[in-house]
Structure 1
């Protein structure tokens, strides 16, 4: 582990959470700063490995804690045969929040959820509002089925505009998408759609710069690559839950402030769907930030603009507290 910025807080640890050892990575400049718990995407895609690429400035105003969830990253490596369900994930998250509140002497924590983490974070925020200072959704998932349908139509639209006959044939070969149920056929089709979307910079794909970022991480170990390769198998039950998830079917009432930071070129979790849902939200305070020239990896694509959005949120909430 390399603390290149000589941070006051730079901790890797395994904590017993809900019966198993789970990995936490803390980084910050001041113990008095508010604590932000980063909920990674996937499910199974531990973003602690990418923290160095986007969060240096965050640490000036927050203590940022990355948690490798059950079935992901270093937690999966430590517990290779223990797979998550949505219920175990929520129990894990509750225990993690309690641990952080005690460690940093805080009454509440900030939850930032990215992609799948936005599903977990939203459910938790609705269930335990007393634990959450405020919630930030990035690549916010409202309905996976709607996301896939809209994302598919967007890449098809661009392929038609570009007269890209090869891509149109590949899309036609995929057939009905996303389909009517969660099964292996959907997972195969989804992988193909992601690769096509990646060609048009509409979704995250495993590009060389992305892979290089993993190897540059101060917390990287070779076992992290193995964990990534096992993520889909480990998270099958959670993926099935995600497939049928639909926030539109639930109340839009929130007891805590809600903020969305969305990439204007995100068609993996299409920003237009999240934007439409956000407009219906009733919350003590709320705000939406659209980041230009940014896709699903919003904070990596535009780190400065993303930080400016976080700074604005922090300033607003500091005045309200």
Structure 2
């Protein structure tokens, strides 16, 4: 997947080589970014709109805080990846959410603007799941103090659900509730079901090439190490058949191209997306493939899962099964029938409604 992401970034023109002469296309993109920036501007006196760096555990992290009213509940959103920050694409779906919540995002260590702050070998040695958990807790403490809140709503997507689950279990005092989107429960089972879906679809559609490629990987994941190359090969066809974004064979242009119009990301930031992905995943992969939350039978705070019906990147049935057996003060699964893995982008309207109807009542200041 990393190679596909890097290629997508190049194909979308996100990485502008230093020193290259400006072109008419660059001028058009700059004007488009100005339009997006004006649309996203929060002019009211009660609102907040900040993008800034803040020191966290020895590294400056980049943080975005946006909302129409500081009195609203605060959502701390933990992005996926590893190293796929949400800040460059939040303009695609977040503006309605900002009317009801103060939305906080941050580029994790090794990702995006934070990768630009430091991507040394020494920093690379800190890329461990527990470090991301510690960073998340520190940022939650910072946001609480900055915005004058006792607790936050913790929302996480994809890879981000791993440090977020750990943080919720370790520091439930910080959070009103936890919302998992594209939840990771068991990575090896994710991979098995993902390939099984791709193979079933390829056979149904008579795609002999796809069937041949996937059958060559069986048994998968089996007992062999889950390397990057095996994962990339196994996810190729499930994602082609809509397992990443429902009924779409690619997400490259609309999702990975979002940074091209983001007012928060300049050319160097856009180039850092691909570089940060390569930097982070190779250091986290061994831990990532061992993640398994199936043994977690008690959850200390309300837990809500947003599940894409067509998600075969982190297959939703695993999440539904886990939610059924866990004991929590409150639990709810919300199915998104028109989504796969990219729920907030695929169904932004239902995302807003679900946060208001299911999650907002859990906020107790």
Give the TM-score normalised by structure 1. Answer: 0.93
Q: Structure 1, residues 13-57: CA drift from partner, whole Å, max 9, x if none?
A: 000111111100111111111111110111111121111111111
Match of 1:215 among 255, 260, 277: 260
Mapped contact 2:83–2:111 kept (Cα < 8 A): yes
Give the match's secondary structure for 2:334: strand
* More deviation, 75-84/192-201: 192-201
The answer to whether the aligner puts 1:5 opposite 2:44 as a matched pair is no
Give the match's secondary structure for 2:39: coil
Mapped contact 1:129–1:256 kept (Cα < 8 A): yes
* More deviation, 170-179/42-51: 170-179
Tell me how far apart the structure 2 counterparts of residues 313 and 60 of structure 1 sit (CA, whole Å).
17
Look at both structures and tell me which one has the larger radius of gyration over its CA atoms.
Answer: 2
Structure 2 residue aligned with 1:299: 344
Q: Structure 1, residues 66-89: CA drift from partner, whole Å, max 9, x if none?
A: 110011111011112122211221
Higher relative contact order (CA 8 A, sep 6+): 2
* More deviation, 189-198/101-110: 189-198
**1:74-223 paired onto structure 2 within 5 Å:** 74-81=113-120, 82-83=123-124, 84-180=127-223, 182=225, 186-203=227-244, 205-223=250-268
Give the 4+ runs in structure 1 shifted more than 6 A: none
Structure 1 residue aligned with 2:7: none
Structure 2 residue aligned with 1:229: 274
Displacement of 1:257 in angstroms is 0.6
Displacement of 1:129 in angstroms is 0.7
Mapped contact 1:73–1:228 kept (Cα < 8 A): yes
Tell me how far apart the structure 1 counterparts of residues 341 and 107 of structure 2 sit (CA, whole Å).
19
Displacement of 1:10 in angstroms is 1.4
Tell me how far apart the structure 1 counterparts of residues 290 and 257 of structure 2 sit (CA, whole Å).
34
Displacement of 1:182 in angstroms is 4.3
Tell me how far apart the structure 1 counterparts of residues 219 and 279 of structure 2 sit (CA, whole Å).
24
Structure 2 unaligned runs (5+)?
Answer: 1-33
Mapped contact 1:259–1:286 kept (Cα < 8 A): yes
Give the TM-score normalised by structure 2. Answer: 0.83
Mapped contact 1:265–1:293 kept (Cα < 8 A): yes
Tell me how far apart the structure 2 counterparts of residues 235 and 139 of structure 1 sit (CA, whole Å).
18
Tell me how far apart the structure 2 counterparts of residues 125 and 282 of structure 1 sit (CA, whole Å).
14
Structure 1 residue aligned with 2:53: 14
Structure 1 unaligned runs (5+)?
Answer: none
Mapped contact 2:169–2:300 kept (Cα < 8 A): yes
